[in-house]
Structure 1
Amino acid sequence: MTLFDWIKQQFHTLTVDKSRPKRNHRDHHHDYHQRKRLVDQSQKTNNDQKSPYAIQADNPATTLPEIKQSVDQVSPVTMAQSQVTFFYLDENHQIIKSPDILVGNQGESFHFKLPRFKNHYLVAIDHFTNHFLAYDQDVTLHFALKEGLPVMVYTVDFDTGQILQPVKIISDKMCQKYEITAPKIDHFRVINSTGKKYGLFDNRTHGIIFYYRKEDWETVQPVAYFVRLNKHHLVFNEPNGYQLKTGLPANIIIKVFARIDTSNNKSWLNIGGFEWIENQHLEPSDPPIHNLIASMTKTSRNRVMLTGAVDFVPGQSISTFDKPYGKQAGKLLDGTKISIIATIVDDQNLIWYELENHQVIPKGYIKIDHG
């Protein structure tokens, strides 16, 4: 190597060394401006700390919660939902209908139409509401059974048609069971009935009729024939009953409507209404052609001016006739006030009263006013 080459090499070396500090200076200069920008940015940030939404460049992650909070404040609020359940219970706390469930947003109102039941009516409501709240709600509606229409119980004498006891009225709530037994009535026995003796109370009136017969009446037979009386007969209000005030003379021909045999071995004949004679001292007869009594040939009539009242069986009526032993012309209720214009005496000394309408009635059924 020549001296010149060595010097050149050394010169080159020195040139390289001198150039590195210059590059380093440029690098330092670049770092200075970069740091300056960061410092300026930091100072700007410090000056803007009053804003809650400022971003810290040195630690960007710390600003995420603040940014999220800002977004939440401007997002729409989601409403909470809840439900209201309606329960329907009877008087025994038994379910009468499956529950109804309404669902809606908190704070909303709703209109709920209560159901109607055929056999129940509403008596109370627990915790009623018409708004959805933040929590679920239960509403309990209490119902009671309606009253069913009554069951009417009648007791009737089968042979006379009389009502033996006041009508009995039985009532209870809808759908409740009833079972009716015949009332016990002294000296009568039940022989038949109509109507359902058991069932449920509902929206209809039910009627039950129990038919009775005198307990000593063994046989009751409707008949239709005529008899001639061979002797004078007493007349009674019913078989084995009490004696009426007038009787029937011998040889009269009368029609029989029913025959009853009683437990004391007697037989009775119904001759109309509430009049009965014993089935003895008589014989079958053909219907009369003219008069119902063949042997009566004359009567005497005397004019009078009397007042009185029918004296028969309380609540019952007595027949009137167009003439003594003639055809039935009408009826008069026991206690009816009457005016008498004449007395008629037949040839068997039976007395009849002639009324203002010229109908006649036996004397024994009239109570004359005195004084």
Structure 2
Amino acid sequence: MALMDWVKRLITPRVTSRPTPAHRAATQDQPPVMDTQPPRKPTVASTPTAPAPVAPVTPRPTPTVTTQAKPEATLVIRLVDTHDRPLQPALVLTGRLGETVHLTFPTIAGYVLLRMDGMTQTFLNEYGLTTLIYQRQWGQPITTYLIDYDSGQLLALPRLQRDVLGATFQFTPPAVDGYHIFRAQGDQYGTYTTHPQRLLYFYRRDAWQTVQRVEQYVTLTTDHAVYDLPAGQAYGYQFPAQSLWRLFAIITLTDQSVWYNLGGNQWLSAQDTQRHEHRERHLEIPRVTQLTGQDVQLTGTVDYIPHGTVMIYREPYGEIAGQLANGELLEIRRRVVDDQQLRWYQIGPAAYINARYVRLAKQL
């Protein structure tokens, strides 16, 4: 029991007091007990200090910002053509009153913006309507030509016609006095596109029954008058008999008369002629045997039709040597007269021209 008591005393806080004599006597026989606990510092009891009073903080009222939202606005944009027909679904833009309207104008193929009705830069009302009117683009023009098929000359000024892109067209040959339509080249019906188009109408004279393109030659058996057209107006001069000419066309008129084209606006009647397929077969041309000549020193000019040319020969009634333009200057070396009193002028070593196509200069 002594051990247990010692343990209790060890773990039980001791109260320091003066020992009594009885106690000292009781403990004299006990061995001394070593106190292994470190000495404790005396605890000084302190009186807690109360915190200083803090003045209460009165919360400040938070200012209330009142934002009045603007009413919403709607703008409907219609896309129509000039006949008020819709081209695309309408556009619907939303925002708030006073805000800027942000719009990119739509591009519609084949149309251009013509005008705007009711367009605003800001939303002015809760509900608004704007109309964008588009106009159909213009197509490229169609040019019509009226052409004499046989001469290649224009019978009238070209006609220019134009309409909007995609519009349809249908043409008929215009009537031309003294002509009938012979053929057409180009589309006579279709639509106007982004590319220009051309329409050619070829006409032939009503009096021309048949036309033959040839490369032949003809020998005149008599003197022949020269005309501007088959059965047309005579020029006032003649081509001599036994002369050889190249043919480019043979025309048969409705009265069955036949005419030869010698190039350009020179025409001969087929009467009193001999036609040849190849010139080489008829190189020997009958010659005039009685020629008288006289040396001269004259000057002159070619007197022919305006802008025309006249042929010259290596010798009178001989082989063609070339051509001279109307108004060209001439130096005449010799004058030759045949037995029919037709005159020729020698203008070079081997160059002769019929005197009827020469205007002599006044001699001083």
TM-score clears 0.5: yes
**Contact preservation (8 Å) 1:304, 1:340:** no
1:201 aligns with 2:192: yes
Alpha-carbon distance change, 95 to 263 in structure 1, aligned in 2, over 3 angstroms? same
* SS, match of residue 160 in structure 1: coil
Alpha carbons of structure 1 residues 137 and 91: separation in structure 2 relative to 1, 3 Å? same
- Tell me by how many angstroms 1:190 deviates: 0.9
Moved more, 317-326 or 99-108: 317-326
* Residue matched to 1:111: 102
**How large is the Cα RMSD of the aligned pairs?**
3.5
Aligned partner letter, 1:180: F
Measured in 2, the distance between the counterparts of 1:230 and 1:121 equals: 72
Distance 1:290 1:224 in 2: 15
Correspondence 1:295 to 2:287: yes
The Cα shift of 1:169 comes to 1.9
Q: What count of residue pairs does the alignment treat as equivalent?
A: 297
Query: SS state of the match for residue 138, structure 1?
Result: strand
Q: Quick one: which of 323, 329, 338 aligns to 1:339?
A: 329
**Matching residue of 1:49:** none
One of 230, 254, 269 as aligned partner of 1:263 = 254
Amino acid at match of 2:126: Y
Segments of 5+ residues of structure 1 without an aligned counterpart are: 1-52, 54-69
Instruction: Please state which structure has a larger fraction of its residues in helix.
Output: 1
Residue equivalent to 1:157: 148
TM-score w.r.t. length of structure 2:
0.68
The letter of the residue matching 1:129 is T
What displacement does 1:226 show? 2.4
User: Any idea what SS the aligned residue of 2:183 has?
Assistant: strand
1:246–1:362 CA contact under 8 A, matched in 2 = no
Which amino acid in structure 1 is aligned with residue 264 of structure 2? G
Alignment check: 8 A CA contact 1:253 1:292 kept: no
Aligned to 1:128: 119
Distance 1:153 1:228, change over 3 A: same
Looking at structure 2, the residues matched to 234 and 144 of structure 1 have their Cα atoms a distance apart, in angstroms, of: 63
Could you tell me whether the CA contact under 8 Å between 1:306 and 1:339 is conserved in 2? yes
Q: How far apart are 1:201 and its partner, in Å?
A: 2.6
Gaps of 5+ in 2: 1-60
The answer (yes or no) to whether the contact 2:298–2:360 under 8 Å persists in 1 is: no
Instruction: Find out whether 1:327 has 2:320 as its counterpart.
Output: yes
Shift of 1:290: 9.2
CA–CA distance in structure 1, aligned partners of residues 185 and 210 of structure 2: 21
Aligned to 2:132: 141
For the residues of structure 2 that align with 1:116 and 1:352, how far apart are their CA atoms?
Answer: 78
The DSSP-based 3-state class of the residue aligned with 1:337 is coil
Deviation at 1:119, TM superposition (A): 3.5
Q: Indicate conservation of the 8 Å contact 2:216/2:248, yes or no.
A: yes
Equivalent of 1:87 in 61, 70, 78: 78
Is the aligned partner of 1:249 residue 2:240?
yes
Whether the 8 Å contact between 1:252 and 1:292 is mirrored in structure 2 is no
Instruction: Deviation per CA, 1:226-267: give whole Å up to 9, x if none.
Output: 233222222222211111233222222322221111101101
Structure 2 residue aligned with 1:13: none
**Among the aligned pairs, what percent are the same residue?**
23
- CA distance in structure 1 between the partners assigned to 2:72 and 2:161 by the alignment: 53
2:51 alignment counterpart: none
When Rg is computed on C-alpha atoms for both structures, the one with the higher figure is 2
Q: Contact (CA 8 Å) 2:337, 2:343: kept in 1 or not?
A: yes
